[in-house]
Amino acid sequence: MASLRLAVDAMSGDHGLRSSIPATVNALNLNSALHIILVGDEPAIALALASEKFDSNRLSVHHAPDVVAMDDQPSRTLRSKKNSSMYIALELLRDGVVSAVVSAGNTGALVAMSCVVLARLPGIKRPAICAPVPALNGHTFLLDLGANVECDAQQLHHFAQMGSALCRVLDGSESPRVGLLNIGSELTKGTATIRDAAELIGADSRLNYCGFIEGGDLFSADVDVVVCDGFAGNVALKVCEGTASFIASQLRARFKKTLYGMFVGLLARPIMTAFQRDINPDRYNGAALLGLNGIVVKTHGSSGAQGFQSAIHQAARAVRNDLQSQIEKQLETTS
């Protein structure tokens, strides 16, 4: 089994150390097999750790004097941010010091740096971002979520292979059901690229392809993996999160509107609490960058400690279950 040694890009994201430090400490305290290297400004990290309780034998700091800002241009970061916490964390993964990297930083920069530092697996044009979204059966893995705005049929086929491998590793599913996001379920619907991708995915005997699915099927229990290009995937994810937030806020407003509503709201509080817990994005946080020579997990830039911690746990689970070799095996059919 691969060592559970992770590198955490401690400085990136909207909250930096305010999220990464408590998330790292909590993750260490919950998993005795975990070892973490915090990459970032060493004095600042030492100060943030001063009041925390943790096993110092399983936590170390690797100094990085620079940080990638959330609004930095990805192409510029490749030239000017080689001393950043993000870049150095990826170098630790490339050099075998750690088995995975977790970052809340600039998505474009993380994808670009990962492609340069780690390189892509044979046959992969660009890595895909894959994350779970809430569904009736617990969750559904959706990819791509924004790394590739436009995709050809072969890329979508690769996404199906990599998403299927991720589902097997994280959920233990022997034959994940794969659906291709389209504007209708009929075979004649969609663009030529979507129809060509359906032929490639359907002809792959290693995949359990279930056909086209529509946007409303994302929440069903009909599929385990949904494949789409990064434009559609990112829009779908943001709509899901926005809709969940809208429904929750509307219910709270209705309950507060009248005395009767407040009474009903009081009775319904346990249900509302459970509902908000089930749709909380932090529970599903941690998007894997698939198609690289190494495991990289991206957490929301705005993630708090809980969301960041979820991403660390997901990275550890991916390492423990050997996600990398599973993806490589899945891609052997088309490499």
All domains in the chain, ordered by first residue: 1-121+291-321 (3.40.718.10), 125-285 (3.40.718.10)
Are 127 and 109 spatial neighbours (Cβ–Cβ below 8 Å)?
no
Query: Does residue 45 carry a pLDDT above 60?
Result: yes
Query: Does residue 119 carry a pLDDT above 60?
Result: yes
Query: Does residue 288 carry a pLDDT above 60?
Result: yes
The per-residue pLDDT for 203 is 94
The CA–CA distances, whole Å, from 103 to 30, 136, 145, 195, 241 equal 20, 29, 16, 35, 21
Query: Does residue 93 carry a pLDDT above 80?
Result: yes
Long-range contact list for 212-217, CB < 8 A, 24+ apart?
Answer: 212/179, 212/180, 212/181, 212/182, 212/184, 212/185, 212/186, 212/187, 213/179, 213/180, 213/181, 213/182, 213/185, 214/181, 214/182, 214/183, 214/184, 214/185, 215/181, 217/179
The per-residue pLDDT for 188 is 86
Query: Does residue 65 carry a pLDDT above 60?
Result: yes
Percent of the chain whose pLDDT exceeds 90: 53
Tell me the per-residue pLDDT of 140-186, one tens digit each, with 9 for 90 and over: 899 998 888 889 999 999 999 999 998 988 888 889 999 999 998 88
The per-residue pLDDT for 335 is 47
Query: Does residue 281 carry a pLDDT above 70?
Result: no
Tell me the per-residue pLDDT of 313-335, one tens digit each, with 9 for 90 and over: 999 999 998 888 888 887 875 54
Q: What is the pTM (predicted TM-score) of this model?
A: 0.85
